[in-house]
Amino acid sequence: MNIAETARLFKIILKHYPNNFDGSAENARDWQRRLADLPYEIAVRHLDMHIDGSSFPPKVSEIRRGWRDGDDMKQAAQRVFDLQDELKKIAVPPPPGTKEKLYAAINAARNRTAE
């Protein structure tokens, strides 16, 4: 975010928290430095979520929250996909008749529940 976007963010914050947020230029510069890598649209989305859930003004950490978690989640998802690929290589089908026995047990349970 640049300083103009930070000022727009402060305008939203001050609209919702007019009496207990420091909207000074010095504070805006500090926030801009701390949010420089955060896209404005994401900051506004996080601010909206904060406003919906808190009667206190946000802190920088609450606006940043989850911003880099997306990268971690992508890596975790890739590890799951890699593990699934490995498991597919060693997977074997169930013994013959297992599927039919399972369906019979499910149908029997349904019939008992319906009675």
pLDDT digits (tens, 9 = 90+) for 7-57: 999 999 999 999 999 999 999 999 999 999 889 998 999 999 999 999 999
User: Alpha-carbon distance 19 to 33, whole Å?
Assistant: 24
Region 53-64: what's the mean pLDDT? 94
Q: Write out pLDDT tens, residues 83-98.
A: 999 999 999 999 999 9
Which domains, and CATH codes, for the chain?
3-64 (1.10.8), 69-114 (no CATH)
**pLDDT per residue as tens digits for the range 42-56:** 899 999 999 999 999
Q: Give per-residue burial for 54-84: e unless 16+ CB within 10 Å, then b.
A: eeebbeeebbbeeeeeeeeeeeeeeeeeeee
Please give the pLDDT value at position 71: 61
